[in-house]
Amino acid sequence: MGTPYLIGLDIGTSGVKGIVISQDGKTRASATESYPLSTPKPNWAEQDPEDWWIATTKVLKQLTASIGTRKSDLKAIGLSGQMHSLVILDSESRVLMPSILWCDTRTDRECKWLNDTIGQEDLRNLVANPALEGFTLPKILWVRDHEPDVYDRISKVLLPKDYIRYRLSGEFATEVSDAAGTLMFDVARRKWSEPILSKLSIPSSWLPAVFESVDVCGKVIRPVSDMTGLPEGIPIVGGGADNACGAVGCGVVKEGRVLAGIGTSGVVLAHSAVVRSDPEMRAHTFCHGVPHSWYVMGVILMAGGAFRWYKDTFCRGEIERAEAKGVDVYDLLTQEAETVRPGSDGLFFLPYLNGERTPHRSASARGAFIGATIRHEKRHFSRSVLEGITFAMRDSLEIIKRLGIPLHQIRLTGGGAKSRFWRQLQADVYGREVALVNSMEGPAFGAALMAGVGAGMYADLAEVTEELVAVTETLEPTDRSLVYDEQYQIFSSLYPALSKSFDRIHRHIIQ
C-alpha cells in the first residue's frame, strides 16, 4: 500500500495554486496557473469563471503527473478560494455573466439600500456583518437593478471555489466559512438566513447546501478523472474561504492565537470559541473552518500594497541601487528605515490609499504623510510607512481585544513576516509575542489538512495542526513598545481629525 496523499486547491484572485501533501504534512508537489482580471469600468473587477476552471484542470494535470503512478494514493481534495465573489448560473448550469469579484466596489447604492431597508442593527443580529461593497448580497442586488434580464434567469448562486466544486463533482455545495461572507448567512446558527432571503425575495433554491469545512460534499466524476488523471470518486471536502484556510494552515485553531497577515492587504484574524461581534461592525465575524467555531477579522485594504506604492512612486534611486547590488529593494528600504528612531521623529503615515475597511469603513479615506519637517529624510519616510501600516493593523487587534478574545500569540504571514526588522516592529507595536511557523503554502495547505480530516486521515484540525504546524521563531516586544503605545494614540487621532476633509476630497474627485 502506497503513501496517502492529499490535494489542496486555492482559487485566488490572480490564479489557482495547487499542492499535494503527504500524511506528514510535507509538500510533495505544487503548481500554479494564472488568469486575468478585467476592469471594464471604474470600480469594476471581473473574471470569467471558465478561466478558473481551465487553470484548475491544468494545475490538477501537473499535480497528478508529478506523482506519477502513485496518483491512486490520492485520498481527498480540499478547496479554498477568494471570498464574496459572485457566480450565477442559469437552469442549464451555464454561467450567465462574468463573476463580480470581492474587490469590485460598484455596489455603493445597493449597500445604502440594504442599510435603509433592513437596517444596520438587524444586519448585525441576522448575519453579524455590515453591508459592504465587497460582499455577495449587494452584488446580487446590483444584477437585479442593472441586469434584470440576467436576474430573471438565475437558477444558482455560487462562490468561486464552489463553482470549481460543481465542475469537479456535479454537486452544488458550499461550507460555512465562505457562506458567512455572503451577507445571506446566519453566522451564529451556521445556516442560510431565512429572514434576509424572505425580506429580499431571494429564493432559497438559488443557494447551495451548506456543510462544515471538513465534511465530504462531492466526489470527482468520471469525465474529470479522464481529463485530469484524478481517481474517479475521490472525495471533495467543504474546504474554506481563503482566510479561514490560511488560519488553519498557520495553526490558528484555538483561542489565544491570532493571524496577522501582511500581503497586498492586511488581515488580522482571531479564533473564537463562541460568536462574538463588534457592536459597531468595524470588524467581521465569520464561521471558522474549524467545526463549530468562529473568527473575528479586521481587514486593511492597503498593507504591503502601500509599501509597494511607496517604493514604486518615490524610490527609483533605491530600485536602481538594489538592482546594481543584486539585492531586494525592500531589504534596502527596511535597512535604511532601521537607522531611524522609533516614531520616525514625529512623521506619521496613513495607509488609506484605496479607502479603508477596518475600522473606518470609508471609501473616502485617503493616504497621507503628516508631521513632515525639514529634518526628515527619505529613510524617515520609509520607516513611517512601515509604522503606519503596522498601526493600522493594530486597530483590528484593539477591536478584537475589546471583545474579550485573548491575544497570547500573533502568528505572522505574508510579506510582513519576511523581514526581521518588520517582525520586531510588529511585536513592539502590537505589544504581544509574534511568531513564525513552518507552514509556507498558505490557504492551499489549510485546505489540504481539511481534506485529510474529511478522509479520516486525521482526527480533527486542532490535533493535526498541533502535530504538523511548528513555531520556528518567536519575538517578544521590547521597551520600544512604550514609545509605540504613545505613537499609536497619536496615529488613532489623525483619521477622525481629517475625515471631513477626506469626504470633501472624495466628493470633488467623483463629481
Q: Which residues are known to be catalytic?
A: 242
Q: What DSSP character marks residue 476? A: -
Q: How many degrees, rounded to 5, is the angle at CA 84 between CA 82 and CA 89?
A: 100
Separation CA 158–CA 177 (nearest Å):
14
The beta-strand segments (E) located in 92-234 are: 99-100, 156-158, 173-175, 185-186, 191-192, 209-211, 216-219
- Closest to 31 in 3D by CA, of 2, 1, 63, 53: 63
Whether 90 and 50 have beta carbons less than 8 Å apart is answered as: no
Whether 379 and 339 have beta carbons less than 8 Å apart is answered as: yes
Query: Which three cell numbers, joined as nine digits, stand for 88?
Result: 450565477
Separation CA 32–CA 258 (nearest Å):
28
Separation CA 346–CA 348 (nearest Å):
6
Whether 277 and 285 have beta carbons less than 8 Å apart is answered as: yes
Separation CA 106–CA 494 (nearest Å):
28
Q: Is 58 exposed, middle or buried (0-12, 13-18, 19+ CB in 10 A)?
A: middle
Separation CA 319–CA 208 (nearest Å):
49
* Torsion angle in degrees (nearest 10) through CA of 405, 408, 413, 415: 100
- The residue count of the chain comes to 511
Separation CA 61–CA 77 (nearest Å):
14
Instruction: Provide φ and ψ at 158, rounded to 5°.
Output: -130, 165
- Closest to 412 in 3D by CA, of 263, 299, 264: 263
Separation CA 120–CA 111 (nearest Å):
10
Q: Which amino acid does the sequence have at 27?
A: T
Classify strands 191-192 and 294-300 as parallel, antiparallel or unpaired.
unpaired
Per-residue buried b or exposed e for 455-482, using 16+ beta carbons within 10 Å of the residue's own CB: bebbeebbebbeebbeeeeebebeebbe
Q: Which amino acid does the sequence have at 47?
A: Q
Whether 286 and 441 have beta carbons less than 8 Å apart is answered as: no
